[in-house]
Chain A
Amino acid sequence: MRAELDQPEGHIVSETETIMSDTGRSSMLRARGLRKEYGKEAGLVRAVDAVDLDVAPGETVAVMGPSGCGKSTLLHLLGGLDRPSAGELHLAGQRIDQMGEKALARLRRDAIGFVFQAFHLMDELTAVENVELPALLAGNSTRAARRRAAGLLERVGLADRARFLPSALSGGQRQRVAIARALANEPLVVLADEPTGNLDSEATLEVLRLFESLHEAGQTLVIVTHDSRIAATADRLISMRDGALVDETRLAGGTTGHLSSLAGLDA
């Protein structure tokens, strides 16, 4: 999958495109006319309405907007957790909106990492067992999966909590375990849905630092958030309303390295 990143990809810009990456790089994620509808006729609801979006490799994109504007639905579509009603979706040049359920599962396993607001860790598994799960699902050897999980837990600063159950971890620690799990299979893209929504300020700072290090390491990130401090760490901020992308702000390479100066988050 990673090899496809180096392949040049034609960047077709239609007249209707309003918000697109202008990085000039080939897209890691590319959506055209993406739409998700629920209900019929009078009861029709467009949760995602004709979204065009490009995310470049290594780019961090923050998606903001009021509750119910379709941010999470967009993220689920981008990650293959849900199917669009219309439109096209490409990941690393491969069209994924028409993939079968099995292929989508493989895609999620090998190329996408999810971080959820509610963590969604397995309650009965320890931190290290949670982190190694995607690798085991991918058929990796138990030894390799455990080694990778231990390394990731060390990377997120939880090596000493590897054998703790989620119930014995703080909210911030749980989210760091969830982030480590998202990285287990070296995904092309990490999609985070309100990753700090359930965290206090201190835990939010821990998670922000983690995303910062991921950003520095060149990990492609799409973060749905309500928190402007999280959004400020991105390369690009996209605003949504009523299912559509309505605004884009380029943040000059994000605020990487300036977390401590963010209001209220000084460690």
Chain B
Amino acid sequence: MGRILLICRLAARDLRRRRAEAVLMLIVITAAAATLTLGLVLSGATSNPYLDTKAVTAGPDVVAQSAGAAKNGGPPASLTALENAPGAIGHSGPYPLASPSLRAGGHTVSTAAAGFTVEGRDQGRAPVDQPKVTQGSWVRPGGAVIMQTYAAELGVRPGDRITLNGRRFTVTGLAVTAAWPSVNAPGLIWLTTADARSLATAANPLTYALNLKLADPATATAFTNAHGTGNVYLSSWQQTSSQDAKAVQFEQEALVAGSWLLSMLAIASVAVLVGGRMAEQTRRVGLLKAVGGTPRLIAAVLLAEHLALALLAAAAGLAAGWLAAPLLTSPADGLIGAAGAPSLTAVTVGVVAAVALAVALFATFVPAIRAARTSTVAALADAARTPRRRAWLIAVSRRLPVPLLLGMRLAARRPRRLMLSAASITITVAMIVGVLTIWQLDHVSKVPGGLINPVHAGVNQVLLVITVVLTVLAAVNAIFVARATVADSRRPLAVARALGATQEQVSAGVSASQLLAALPGAILGIPAGIGLVAAVSRNGPVAILSAWELIAVLLGTLLVVSALTAVPARIGARRPVAEILQSEAA
């Protein structure tokens, strides 16, 4: 018990002594934990809003749609026969469906784009499927009600004018329905039945939709399987619900993928932070050992510090992710009701905590073991850890200008840090390339009407957030790697200055050492990003960014890294040489 108390006390004191680093570590792990939480809690988050909408709008259990019309222009018999099919206890319709061309909000959507459908409805309430008007009023002659999601895509509001097949209509209201997928499907516009019929043309004749209520809604899928024919297409409420859920499902998948990338970046960041801290507290380790601390105690103190931070970060991440989830699951455009904060399950909490602890453990393990094995005398003397020697790098660097000579040799001293830095850049560049590729895909796959798929818009939003978080973390990482390099190399840099290297050459050397890691990292990040998109893409091969775009990503990364590392490099190069050489032992 006494030993545990001692470990906790030492860990707490050290955390308090190095608050800034502790806070940074907390932020890094919290970001990864929050993203993972978001990804996990979003699973199935839209099912409740869909059911809410279905209940409020007396949503159908099955929607049947004919492929064409009867010879007299009315609904085909195969469709109307479903009104009396076994299990059906109520219906509304059949309602005429038209596919005119549309001009609204600066968009022109042709019929060929299949961007939307017009449904003719009665002005009174229907027994099944009563679209809920969220703004304005229900249909009237010459007036159109637009499905809320579609109105957002078009950028129209009640009172605006739209043109259908050259005929002008006034938008009287916006509404939501459970009969029609709110996303990832053509938009829906309601007119009066007469107005809808008037839009039929020889090229685009009317079709019909029938809304059915079943005695047992759970049997809707079986009903569609039993009664679907080549002329009548049936969709169950479960299919519609699932399609609505896809938007969040894609967001969830993007978040989970992003959270793994963030976790990897967090490992790299925390490893750099812990490594930097270790370099600064070698003497403390020596003192602990000198007063009887065993190697196990030393490792336990270090692990305790970082595992405590990881647990705190996991808790903060869980809270942040849980609270942020409703922002992403908000059904504002397509459904009514609110998803609310999805419940945190024990599995979610366990997975997030385990990932946070794993991040801390992976990053701390090597420095903890190293500290435990450090010789007490060497630690007490605060002897610098012997750098690695890479003979070929030293030989190559001899032929280079002084900043590159210094940079290459600095980089060669700590290959593990170099790899962590490169990995951090690889992850970030991969994400940036991935996002740019997805944006390009969106641009290519944009419907002729120029409308944005709301599912893609949502996923893009999530990807953008993850990319920003990744970039910020990578930036923090770059600064800390540069800072750790400067701290770790203060003696050789001071010696180089004593031998005649200028401050500019030294600070350029530090920046060059970071660029030597960033360059391969960024180069690797490009195929990694393309691979990432290919792995998550459901539509086979993906478009590849143009050469100049990839070069711009590469150069931009190098530019940002050199700018970020310039400050710690300059600060390091300005420290008085005499002071460093006098305080540092050989």
The yes or no answer to B496 lying at the interface (CB within 8 A) is yes
Cα of A76 to Cα of B409 in the assembled complex, Å: 26
Give, as a whole number of angstroms, the nearest-CB distance from B490 to chain A: 12
| B70-94 contact mask (Cβ, 8 Å, vs A): 1 or 0 | 0000000000000000000000000
Stretch at the interface among A12-20, A118-126, A203-211, A220-228: A118-126
The yes or no answer to A259 lying at the interface (CB within 8 A) is no
Q: Which residue of A lies closest to B388 (CB)?
A: A124
Instruction: Determine if A137 and B586 form an interchain contact, defined as CB atoms under 8 angstroms apart.
Output: no
Cα of A124 to Cα of B488 in the assembled complex, Å: 13
Residues of chain A lying within 8 A (CB to CB) of residue B394: 124-125, 129
Given the known A-B contacts A124-B387, A167-B386, are A181 and B499 also in contact in the complex, defined by CB atoms under 8 Å? yes
| B567-585 contact mask (Cβ, 8 Å, vs A): 1 or 0 | 0000000001110011011
Considering only residues 145-183 of chain A, those with a C-beta below 8 Å from chain B are 145, 165, 167, 174, 181
Given the known A-B contacts A105-B497, A123-B387, are A142 and B503 also in contact in the complex, defined by CB atoms under 8 Å? no
Considering only residues 74-100 of chain A, those with a C-beta below 8 Å from chain B are 76, 79, 81-82
Cα of A124 to Cα of B581 in the assembled complex, Å: 18
Give, as a whole number of angstroms, the nearest-CB distance from B394 to chain A: 6
Considering only residues 104-118 of chain A, those with a C-beta below 8 Å from chain B are 105-110, 114, 116, 118
Instruction: Determine if B495 and A137 form an interchain contact, defined as CB atoms under 8 angstroms apart.
Output: no
The yes or no answer to B501 lying at the interface (CB within 8 A) is yes
Instruction: Determine if A120 and B491 form an interchain contact, defined as CB atoms under 8 angstroms apart.
Output: yes
The yes or no answer to B17 lying at the interface (CB within 8 A) is no
Cα of A145 to Cα of B503 in the assembled complex, Å: 22
Given the known A-B contacts A102-B504, A124-B389, A142-B398, are A109 and B499 also in contact in the complex, defined by CB atoms under 8 Å? yes
Instruction: Determine if B582 and A101 form an interchain contact, defined as CB atoms under 8 angstroms apart.
Output: no
Q: Which residue of B lies closest to A105 (CB)?
A: B502
Q: Which residue of A lies closest to B390 (CB)?
A: A124
The yes or no answer to B277 lying at the interface (CB within 8 A) is no
Given the known A-B contacts A82-B578, A139-B402, are A120 and B389 also in contact in the complex, defined by CB atoms under 8 Å? no
| B494-518 contact mask (Cβ, 8 Å, vs A): 1 or 0 | 1111111111110000000000000
The yes or no answer to B29 lying at the interface (CB within 8 A) is no
The yes or no answer to B248 lying at the interface (CB within 8 A) is no
Considering only residues 373-418 of chain B, those with a C-beta below 8 Å from chain A are 384, 386-390, 394, 398-399, 402, 405, 409, 412-413
Cα of A107 to Cα of B498 in the assembled complex, Å: 10
Name the contact of A101 in the complex, choosing from B492, B494, B503 (C-beta under 8 A).
Answer: B503
Q: Which residue of A lies closest to B499 (CB)?
A: A134
Please classify how large the interface on chain B is, using the bins under 10, 10 to 19, 20 to 34, 35 or more.
35 or more
The yes or no answer to A136 lying at the interface (CB within 8 A) is yes
Give, as a whole number of angstroms, the nearest-CB distance from A171 to chain B: 9
Given the known A-B contacts A73-B578, A124-B388, are A118 and B585 also in contact in the complex, defined by CB atoms under 8 Å? yes
Instruction: Determine if B495 and A120 form an interchain contact, defined as CB atoms under 8 angstroms apart.
Output: yes
Instruction: Determine if A122 and B498 form an interchain contact, defined as CB atoms under 8 angstroms apart.
Output: no
Residues of chain B lying within 8 A (CB to CB) of residue A134: 499-500
Give, as a whole number of angstroms, the nearest-CB distance from A69 to chain B: 14
Give, as a whole number of angstroms, the nearest-CB distance from B254 to chain A: 44
| B457-474 contact mask (Cβ, 8 Å, vs A): 1 or 0 | 000000000000000000
The yes or no answer to A246 lying at the interface (CB within 8 A) is no
Residues of chain B lying within 8 A (CB to CB) of residue A121: 495, 586
Instruction: Determine if B389 and A165 form an interchain contact, defined as CB atoms under 8 angstroms apart.
Output: yes
Residues of chain A lying within 8 A (CB to CB) of residue B584: 118, 120
Give, as a whole number of angstroms, the nearest-CB distance from B508 to chain A: 13
Instruction: Determine if A81 and B577 form an interchain contact, defined as CB atoms under 8 angstroms apart.
Output: yes
Give, as a whole number of angstroms, the nearest-CB distance from A79 to chain B: 8
The yes or no answer to A72 lying at the interface (CB within 8 A) is yes
Instruction: Determine if B389 and A137 form an interchain contact, defined as CB atoms under 8 angstroms apart.
Output: no
Residues of chain A lying within 8 A (CB to CB) of residue B491: 120
Residues of chain A lying within 8 A (CB to CB) of residue B412: 124
Residues of chain A lying within 8 A (CB to CB) of residue B399: 142
The yes or no answer to A138 lying at the interface (CB within 8 A) is yes
Residues of chain A lying within 8 A (CB to CB) of residue B499: 108-109, 114, 133-134, 137, 181
Residues of chain A lying within 8 A (CB to CB) of residue B577: 81-82
Instruction: Determine if A105 and B413 form an interchain contact, defined as CB atoms under 8 angstroms apart.
Output: no
Give, as a whole number of angstroms, the nearest-CB distance from A135 to chain B: 10
Give, as a whole number of angstroms, the nearest-CB distance from B357 to chain A: 35
Instruction: Determine if A124 and B500 form an interchain contact, defined as CB atoms under 8 angstroms apart.
Output: no
Given the known A-B contacts A81-B577, A124-B389, A125-B394, are A108 and B500 also in contact in the complex, defined by CB atoms under 8 Å? yes
Residues of chain B lying within 8 A (CB to CB) of residue A108: 497-500
Name the contact of B578 in the complex, choosing from A81, A110, A129, A139 (C-beta under 8 A).
Answer: A81
Residues of chain A lying within 8 A (CB to CB) of residue B504: 102
Give, as a whole number of angstroms, the nearest-CB distance from A148 to chain B: 13
Cα of A111 to Cα of B502 in the assembled complex, Å: 15
Instruction: Determine if B503 and A105 form an interchain contact, defined as CB atoms under 8 angstroms apart.
Output: yes
Give, as a whole number of angstroms, the nearest-CB distance from B414 to chain A: 10
Instruction: Determine if A137 and B500 form an interchain contact, defined as CB atoms under 8 angstroms apart.
Output: yes
Instruction: Determine if A110 and B405 form an interchain contact, defined as CB atoms under 8 angstroms apart.
Output: no
Residues of chain A lying within 8 A (CB to CB) of residue B578: 72-73, 76, 81-82
Name the contact of B501 in the complex, choosing from A105, A124, A198 (C-beta under 8 A).
Answer: A105
- Of the listed residues A122, A142, A165, the one surrounded by the most CB atoms of chain B closer than 10 A to its CB is A122
Residues of chain A lying within 8 A (CB to CB) of residue B502: 101-102, 105-106
Give, as a whole number of angstroms, the nearest-CB distance from A125 to chain B: 7
Instruction: Determine if A118 and B576 form an interchain contact, defined as CB atoms under 8 angstroms apart.
Output: no
Considering only residues 192-232 of chain A, those with a C-beta below 8 Å from chain B are 198
Instruction: Determine if B500 and A110 form an interchain contact, defined as CB atoms under 8 angstroms apart.
Output: yes
Cα of A129 to Cα of B215 in the assembled complex, Å: 89
Cα of A133 to Cα of B402 in the assembled complex, Å: 10
Residues of chain B lying within 8 A (CB to CB) of residue A107: 500
Residues of chain B lying within 8 A (CB to CB) of residue A114: 498-499
Instruction: Determine if A136 and B398 form an interchain contact, defined as CB atoms under 8 angstroms apart.
Output: yes
Instruction: Determine if B500 and A119 form an interchain contact, defined as CB atoms under 8 angstroms apart.
Output: no
Q: Which residue of A lies closest to B585 (CB)?
A: A118
Name the contact of B581 in the complex, choosing from A120, A122, A185 (C-beta under 8 A).
Answer: A120
Cα of A82 to Cα of B278 in the assembled complex, Å: 30
Instruction: Determine if A136 and B500 form an interchain contact, defined as CB atoms under 8 angstroms apart.
Output: no
Instruction: Determine if B582 and A72 form an interchain contact, defined as CB atoms under 8 angstroms apart.
Output: yes
Cα of A198 to Cα of B381 in the assembled complex, Å: 15
- 20 A-B Cβ contacts within 8 A? A81-B577, A82-B576, A105-B497, A108-B500, A109-B501, A110-B500, A114-B498, A118-B581, A120-B491, A122-B409, A123-B492, A124-B388, A125-B409, A133-B496, A136-B405, A137-B501, A138-B500, A142-B399, A167-B386, A181-B499
Q: A105-B500, A137-B500 are in contact. List 6 more A-B contacts (CB 8 A).
A: A105-B502, A108-B497, A120-B498, A123-B386, A133-B496, A136-B405
